[in-house]
Amino acid sequence: MGGTTQTVCVRCRVTGRVQGVFFRASTVDKARELGLTGYARNLADGSVEVYARGGAGAVETLKTWLWEGPRYARVDAVVCMSAEPEDHRGFGVR
Catalytic sites, residue numbers: 24, 42
Sheet holding 37-42, edge to edge: 74-82, 7-17, 48-55, 37-42, 91-93
Contacts of 37 (CB under 8 A, 6+ apart): 31, 52, 53, 54, 88, 89, 90, 91
Contacts of 63 (CB under 8 A, 6+ apart): 10, 12, 78, 80
